[in-house]
Structure 1
Amino acid sequence: MTSISPWLVLAGLGVFHGLNPAMGWLFAVALGLHRGRRMVVVRSLLPIAAGHAASIAVVASAAVLLGFIVDQRPLEIAAGILLLAWATYQAVYGHRHRVRVGMTTGMVGLGVWSFLMASAHGAGLMLVPVVIPLCLSSMPAPDLTAAGSLSIALAAIGTHMAAMLAVILIISLTVYDWIGLGFLRRGWINFDLIWIAALTVTGLVLIF
């Protein structure tokens, strides 16, 4: 807790997720345009947040609990190997196994889609290298408890989600009010490739 760096990394990953149209804002805009209401765009953030937070919370909580059983270094190596394996899977098969949800789905469908999309992208895995040392080294050993570590994990998830939702809100309202979805036909940054590269680099750093 004495260093702000891990929190900035969590916020930075939230910003990156928010920029990626596959993580939410594209569906929020499409749903708002379909129903012809600006407020629908804002309301869409609730199921997007719920699905994404549930996905990363499952992974982050499991990683923290494992930290009480396994030493941190072997856990970091295992996480690095898992990140490399997931990056390889995404590079080879990721484009073949997309989550299929209609662009005019309801709020419940949007929440389910958000959970599945975050899980498929390994969003929770990317937080593990930050969450593990943050939780397990944030307090003296005698005070280290599952409850205390999980509270820090929840704070980490909250920081990540706040940054992500702020970016999604700004982009979705900007696209809905002024830009429109037509600009996507002229090209867009391939966030999947950037994500694969980030997974690979993080995995290698954890291992070596």
Structure 2
Amino acid sequence: MTLTAVLLLGAFHGVNPAMGWLFAVARGLQERSRDRLLQSLPMIALGHLASVAMVTVAADVTGSLVGGTALAIGCGVLLVGYGLWRLLSRRHFRWVGMRLSLPQLAGWSFLMSSVHGAGLMLLPVVARSGGHHHGSLGLMIALIHTLAMFVVAGVIAVAVYEFIGLRILRSAWINLDRVWAFALVGAGVFALIPGNTY
């Protein structure tokens, strides 16, 4: 179940345009170059990986110092609090301008993933895995999660660039920020229920 949860959360992040595929498409359309889009995706994934790994590795390293149950409860409370803040907040992080170098794009992705709490949702997975892995489990979880995010985001970005274009997004837009916030709250509540495992 843990692997399934990590893959599904990665896929969800890949679907979410705020995590980068929309930015990659915009860069490709702006430069009228599919290569620009394809160059953007690995850098977006790299920034996402750095943000997620920072959280999962830290949780994995300190796992032996904090009981698994206590950590899971702490993660649950953190997720619920952060999710509620995202639901109630009208402020959204904005990056000015689309002409970024590839390293700047990785930095943008790191900031967006961190601001959206991308790594927070994986904390219960790390906490419930138990043990003291010196960060190896946390890194593996972050890598698998990011790989799923990269594949899904890449497929969507290429499909939108090649076949759909950005115009349809104006008429068929879903507020994934709200979906993400509800998902954070839901994952937090689930983590607080005794005996649940991912």
Q: With structure 2 as the length reference, what TM-score do the two structures score?
A: 0.92
Q: Residues 21-44 of structure 1: CA distance to partner in whole angstroms, max 9, x if unpaired?
A: 111111101111111211111110
CA contact (8 A) 1:51 1:114 kept: yes
**Which amino acid is the alignment partner of residue 136 of structure 2?**
S
Match of 1:29 among 25, 29, 34: 25
1:20 pairs with 2:16: yes
Q: Return the alpha-carbon distance in structure 2 between the equivalents of residues 186 and 201 of structure 1.
A: 28
Pairing partner for 2:110 from 106, 112, 115: 115
Spell out the pairing of 1:47-58 with structure 2 (5 A cutoff): 47-58=43-54
Within a 5 Å distance, the mapping from 1:196-207 to structure 2 comes to: 196-207=181-192
User: Match for residue 196 of structure 2?
Assistant: none
Residue 163 of structure 1: aligned partner: 148
2:47, 2:109 within 8 Å by CA — same for their partners in 1? yes
RMSD between superposed Cα atoms in Å: 1.4
Structure 1 residue ranges, 4+ long, deviating more than 4 angstroms after superposition: none
Deviation at 1:182, TM superposition (A): 0.5
Contact 2:75 2:191 in 1 (8 A): yes
Distance 2:187 2:34 in 1: 38
State the TM-score, normalizing by the size of structure 1: 0.87
Q: Distance in 2 between matches of 1:191 and 1:101?
A: 21
The number of equivalent residue pairs is 193
Could you tell me how far apart the structure 2 residues matched to 1:207 and 1:164 are? Answer: 26
- For structure 1, the 5+ residue unaligned runs are 138-143
CA distance in 1, matches of 2:10, 2:96: 23
Q: Tell me the amino acid that sits aligned with residue 76 of structure 1.
A: A
Listed as ranges, the gaps of 5+ residues in structure 2 are 194-198
Please give the residue correspondences for 1:79-118 in structure 2 after superposition, counting only pairs within 5 Å.
79-93=75-89, 95-118=90-113
- Matched residue type, 1:8: T
User: For residues 145 and 19 of structure 1, do their structure 2 counterparts lie closer, same or farther at Cα, with a shift above 3 Å needed?
Assistant: closer
Q: Structure 1 residues 103, 187: closer, same or farther in 2, change over 3 A?
A: farther
Deviation at 1:174, TM superposition (A): 0.9
Residue type matched to 1:98 in 2? F
Which residue identity is paired with 1:37?
A: S
Alignment match, 1:193: 178
Amino acid at match of 1:204: V
The code of the aligned residue for 2:150 comes to: L
Distance 1:46 1:170 in 2: 13
Asked if structure 1 preserves the Cα contact closer than 8 Å seen for 2:59 and 2:138, the reply is no
1:42 is matched with 38
